[in-house]
């Protein structure tokens, strides 16, 4: 049952009438926002839950997930909370980042290819996201910079402490993640997204940056990339391709998400141009020269599908037609009337420069029911494809051929639940007051209640079914993009969590 303050209920009903969406539709889990954007917040609710949704059982997985003829899938490991990007070590283990836990996990690979152990390799990091291994170093994209630490793949161990080699990058905002890779030119590339849905930035972001391996001599390599969550170099050509997520609030089918061939000095359109040369309805007229210089995407993905991870297939185990193709994880839409994305696709590059896209792994979403959200893709040492899922905290392994035996997934127990919050009645009263002030001062209602221009759906319902004060406080420390990041103290987060749980 929904528990709401009576005044809030009246307030929400009035808002409901004013903006004209059906209150009853809300109970089916779908809200239609003014302008026709429909939001299924039942999914958003699960996605954002502090407690991860359980992964599919093996039989269900085989039943639900679809692959081209001749491929097979297993859950390789699970229990990796908020699993985001991966890196394969020289000995075939998998490193996985967990921004919300502040950790990098090491999943050990046994001789037969199964996962044999999960360890916390690093913890206490600042929202670790991108991971890159190069020349005995592990590079980690964190909240405001990049750190690196010595990593010995054969020992499955780091030595020393992480050294900040890049600091002072723009932090927070709607797209706070930092992705790192080392290029074939032995330089460090860093991608960071925009602070907003659509705006003119005052800081360097919505960009790709390039540094020497020690973090020196940084340059802005490319701009106009709204949120390039991952990138990779095509082995045959050396061309650098980056995924990019298109803006929200232009309806269900606009604008496309993108794959861009990124060149030094290139400008890729945002916020003035969407897709191939379409002026943005809000910002399109503001900078005609800049808009004219925008480079078209190489490939367009359907709107709101949210392409995140990319990996070129350089293994030998898959059929010939996949050699040189890119696998891209489409994380899936959160604000579209019917869901789109929720799959891994193969992008094929033709000799004439054109591209085509075909489904590879589908079934994360069936009849609007979501059972996973793919994030990272990586080619393993036996030519298999690994896919991470931040919805269930799982890593899938896809092979050409068939898995034999039980294929029992490794159940990691590396996660610790956040400390519980114990307050005296007097402290709780104070937290409620201070939480309400924080809610007001930070304009949370603009997205969550008022239905203003930049509105997100009012998804703050039944919070106590999925969160306690501790896990909600943890969510506020590392919110799910595009929820912006706020620099709250631990005390402020607790106060807000107590207030939110009482109010929603």
Binding positions for ligand HEC, rule: CB under 6 A: 44-45, 47-49, 334, 439, 442-444, 446-448, 454, 456, 459-460, 463, 475, 480, 482-484, 486, 496, 500
Closer residue to ligand HEC in complex, CB, 174/298: 174
Q: Closer to ligand HEC at the Cβ: 311 or 456?
A: 456
Smallest distance, Å, CB 96 to ligand HEC?
A: 20
- 400, 128 contact by CB (below 8 A): no
Residue with tokens 């990019």: 244
Identity of the residue, 41 or 349, whose beta carbon is nearer to ligand HEC in the bound complex: 41
Please say which residue, 193 or 380, places its beta carbon nearer to ligand HEC: 193
Closer residue to ligand HEC in complex, CB, 60/464 = 464
First to last CA, the chain: 11
Residue in the block written with tokens 């008022």: 450
Q: State the virtual CA torsion across 111, 113, 119, 120 in degrees, nearest 10.
A: 130
Shortest Cβ distance from residue 46 to ligand HEC (Å)?
Answer: 8
CB of 121 to ligand HEC, least distance (A): 27
Q: How far is the CB of 39 from ligand HEC (least distance, A)?
A: 9
Between CA 121 and CA 33, with CA 467 as vertex, the angle to 5 degrees is 110
In the complex, least distance from residue 421 CB atom to ligand HEC, rounded to whole angstroms: 15
- Between residues 360 and 475, which has the closer beta carbon with respect to ligand HEC? 475
Peptide bond into 41 cis (omega under 30): no
Residue 467 Cβ vs ligand HEC, minimum distance, rounded to whole Å: 7
Cβ closer to ligand HEC: 109 or 205? 205
Residue 465 C-beta: closest distance to ligand HEC, Å: 9
Residues 167-171: contacts with CB within 8 Å, 24+ apart?
Answer: 168/144, 169/144, 169/145, 169/204, 169/205, 169/209, 170/144, 170/195, 170/201, 170/203, 170/204, 170/205, 171/143, 171/144, 171/485
Angle at the Cα of 418 (from 414 to 420), degrees rounded to 5? 140
The residue among 343 and 384 lying less far from ligand HEC, judged by its C-beta, is 343
User: 157 vs 465, which CB is nearer to ligand HEC?
Assistant: 465
Distances (CA, A) of 62 to 72, 330, 398: 8, 20, 11
Nearer to ligand HEC, 196 or 240 (CB): 196
What are 371's two structure tokens? 């059972």
Q: How many residues appear in the chain?
A: 504
Beta carbon nearer to ligand HEC, 175 or 299: 175
Kindly state the smallest distance separating residue 489's Cβ from ligand HEC, in Å: 13
Nearest-angstrom CA–CA distance, 372 and 83: 11
- Give min distance, CB of 217 to ligand HEC, in A: 35
Count the neighbouring beta carbons within 10 Å of the beta carbon of residue 233.
Answer: 18
Whether the upstream peptide bond of residue 258 has omega within 30° of 0, thus cis, is no
User: For ligand HEC, which is the closer residue by CB, 256 or 332?
Assistant: 332
Judge whether 476 and 491 are in contact, CB under 8 Å. Answer: no
CA distance 82 to 75: 16
What is the closest distance, in whole angstroms, from the C-beta atom of residue 53 to ligand HEC in the complex? Answer: 12
CB of 495 to ligand HEC, least distance (A): 10
Close Cβ partners of 86 (under 8 Å, ≥ 6 residues apart): 94, 95, 96, 97, 131, 309, 376, 378, 386, 388, 395
- Least distance between ligand HEC and beta carbon 437 (Å): 11
| Contacts of range 446-452, beta carbons closer than 8 Å, 24 or more positions apart | 447/483, 449/11, 449/12, 449/15, 450/15, 451/15, 451/18, 451/19, 451/33, 451/34
CB 29 within 8 A of CB 41: yes
């Amino acid at each position: 049952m929904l528990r709401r303050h009576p005044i809030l209920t009246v307030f929400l009903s009035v808002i409901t009438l004013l903006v004209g969406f059906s209150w009853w539709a809300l109970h089916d889990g779908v809200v239609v926002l003014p302008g026709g954007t429909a939001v299924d917040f039942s999914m958003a609710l699960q996605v954002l839950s502090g407690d991860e949704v359980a992964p599919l059982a093996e039989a269900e997985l085989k039943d639900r997930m679809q692959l081209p003829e001749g491929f097979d899938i297993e859950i390789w490991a699970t229990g990796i909370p908020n699993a985001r990007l991966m890196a394969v070590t020289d000995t075939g283990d998998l490193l996985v980042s967990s921004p919300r836990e502040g950790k990098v996990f090491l999943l050990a690979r046994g001789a037969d290819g199964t996962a044999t152990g999960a360890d916390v390799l690093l913890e206490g990091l600042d929202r670790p996201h991108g991971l890159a291994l190069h020349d005995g170093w592990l590079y980690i994209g964190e909240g405001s910079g990049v750190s690196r630490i010595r990593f010995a793949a054969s020992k499955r161990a780091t030595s020393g402490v992480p050294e900040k080699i890049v600091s002072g990058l723009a932090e927070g905002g709607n797209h706070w993640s930092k992705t790192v890779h080392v290029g074939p030119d032995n330089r460090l590339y860093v991608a960071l997204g925009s602070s907003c849905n659509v705006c003119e930035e005052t800081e360097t972001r919505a960009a790709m940056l390039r540094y020497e391996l020690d973090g020196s001599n940084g340059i802005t390599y490319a701009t106009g990339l709204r949120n390039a969550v991952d990138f990779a170099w095509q082995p045959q050509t050396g061309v650098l391709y980056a995924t990019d997520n298109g803006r929200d609030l232009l309806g269900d089918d606009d604008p496309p998400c993108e794959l861009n061939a990124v060149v030094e000095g290139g400008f890729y359109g945002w916020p003035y141009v969407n897709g191939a040369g379409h002026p943005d309805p809000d910002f399109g007229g503001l900078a005609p020269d800049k808009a004219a210089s925008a480079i078209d995407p190489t490939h367009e993905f359907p709107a709101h599908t949210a392409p995140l991870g990319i990996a070129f297939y350089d293994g030998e185990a898959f059929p010939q037609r996949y050699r040189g193709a890119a696998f891209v994880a489409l994380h899936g839409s959160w604000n579209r009337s019917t869901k789109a994305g929720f799959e891994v696709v193969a992008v094929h590059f033709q000799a004439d420069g054109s591209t085509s896209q075909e489904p590879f792994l589908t079934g994360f979403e069936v009849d609007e029911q979501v059972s996973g959200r793919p994030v990272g893709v990586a080619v393993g040492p036996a030519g298999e494809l690994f896919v991470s899922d931040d919805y269930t905290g799982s890593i899938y392994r896809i092979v050409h051929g068939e898995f034999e035996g039980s294929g029992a997934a490794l159940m990691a127990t590396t996660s610790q639940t956040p400390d519980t919050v114990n307050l005296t009645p007097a402290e709780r009263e104070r937290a409620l007051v201070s939480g309400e002030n924080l809610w007001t001062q930070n304009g949370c209602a603009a997205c969550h209640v008022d239905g203003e221009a930049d509105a997100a759906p009012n998804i703050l319902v039944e919070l106590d079914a999925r969160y306690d004060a501790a896990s909600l406080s943890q969510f506020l420390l590392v919110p799910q993009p595009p929820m912006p990041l706020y620099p709250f103290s631990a005390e402020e987060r607790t106060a807000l969590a107590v207030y939110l749980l009482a109010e929603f």
